Amino acid sequence: MAQTWDTPRSQAGRSSDWRWQLRHAVTTVDQLARELALTDRERLAIEHASLHGLPLLVTPYFLSLVDRARRDCPIRIQCLPSPREALVVPGDRTDPLGENDHAVAPFLVQRYPDRALLIATTGCAVHCRFCTRSRLVRQGRGATPLSSLRPALDYLRAHGEIREVILSGGDPLVFSTNRLIKLLEAIRSIQHIEVIRIGTRVPSVLPMRIDADLVTALEGLQPIWFMVHFNHPRELTPQARQALSMLVDGGFPVMSQSVLLRGVNDDPDVLAELFRGLVRERVRPYYLLHADVVAGTAHLRTSLARSVEVHAALQGRVSGIAVPKLVVDTPGGRGKVVVGPEVVLSQVGGRTVLRTFRGELVEVLDPPAALDDERDESLADG
């Protein structure tokens, strides 16, 4: 059933400057209470998070997207601490992807043979309650000094098998443009690095950061791919759409990832609207992530069976370019695994039975093995 939401509050009277947004980010109970009616439990959760967990941090812009009339607003769920964050369940991990174990240099993680992830900052525009790196982000140290990244850059120079660097954090786009460009130039100077990928949630939570100066500064450092992060169609505001258009018009390929979150987007209709909206902005939905097993986030995670069910419901009803891969980033850093419903029902004697998205069973036949023998003989004759 389609849900109705109020219109996001206007940003009229609020600065459209991204630095202003960061300076005026909401971080305390008192600040938030001036914007939203809070329950006693929410107040306690915010205070607990500031002392023992991931502190509250949300830009005025992203907070303006909250439906004030609904406590189940998907934006509210994503950015407000919950009392349930104090609960730790079996399987929870503080470092769910085993990044500490796969660190090859300070701030550099290598889990795959040909690429590495550089943690350039622990600063963000919004503290998402499901944050995979909350163990780092909660420290609030911000940008990693370039001098501290030298060992990581030295490692990259010494390992020619690494062809791609994923710049992540935190969010690297909360850097000043000058600082960001200096880091990207240092990476680009390594000849065997072919591609730089920037992981960012800025287009959805701080879209005014994507401006002409940033795009122009990045153009000379291509190829750069962007992996942006949108979880709900409510985030696809006119400002967010403009930010995405500026990146695409600047010549940057843009992909998107979404995290399946209970009560936010674990609904095929919600995801279909989101993915269609992204495709309209020339953004390719690439990953639909089963939520990582971050300690204190069990209340936000769906079961894996539910994730598969939601993803399966998109097949056939949404254009193929609008359907991302459903993946589990396996605990302990063993890499991403693509998952989905069982579609291969049997394989016997060159006959494979498949189940279509409509539930129909279709048989696919392999070519006769004898054809290989005939081809070998014809080649020999030639």
Catalytic residue at 329?
yes
113 burial type by CB count under 10 A (0-12 exposed, 13-18 middle, 19+ buried)? exposed
d(CA 260, CA 97): 17
User: Catalytic: which of 76, 111, 138, 201?
Assistant: 111
Closest CA to 45 of 67, 14, 21, 76: 76
User: Catalytic: which of 93, 241, 284, 336?
Assistant: 336
User: Catalytic: which of 43, 70, 71, 112?
Assistant: 112
Question: Using alpha carbons only, what angle is made at residue 95 by residues 142 and 73, rounded to the nearest 5 degrees?
Answer: 75
Closest CA to 99 of 124, 76, 118: 118
Catalytic residue at 111?
yes
Catalytic residue at 128?
yes
Catalytic residue at 155?
no
Catalytic residue at 336?
yes
Catalytic residue at 154?
no
User: Catalytic: which of 267, 287, 292, 301?
Assistant: 292
User: Catalytic: which of 76, 95, 128, 287?
Assistant: 128
Q: Please provide residue 108's backbone torsions phi and psi, each rounded to the nearest 5 degrees.
A: -125, 125
User: Catalytic: which of 133, 135, 197, 201?
Assistant: 133
Q: What is the C-alpha end-to-end distance of the chain, expressed in Å?
A: 65
Q: What does the H/E/C string look like for 153-207? A: HHHHHHCCCCCEEEEECCCHHHCCHHHHHHHHHHHHCCCCCCEEEEECCHHHHCH
Residue corresponding to tokens 């439906």: 67
Catalytic residue at 61?
no
User: Catalytic: which of 73, 95, 124, 267?
Assistant: 124
Q: Please provide residue 217's backbone torsions phi and psi, each rounded to the nearest 5 degrees.
A: -65, -30
User: Catalytic: which of 131, 138, 197, 201?
Assistant: 131
User: Catalytic: which of 9, 43, 115, 241?
Assistant: 115
Give the type of residue at 137: V
Which residues belong to the active site? 111-112, 115, 124, 128, 131, 133, 292, 329, 336
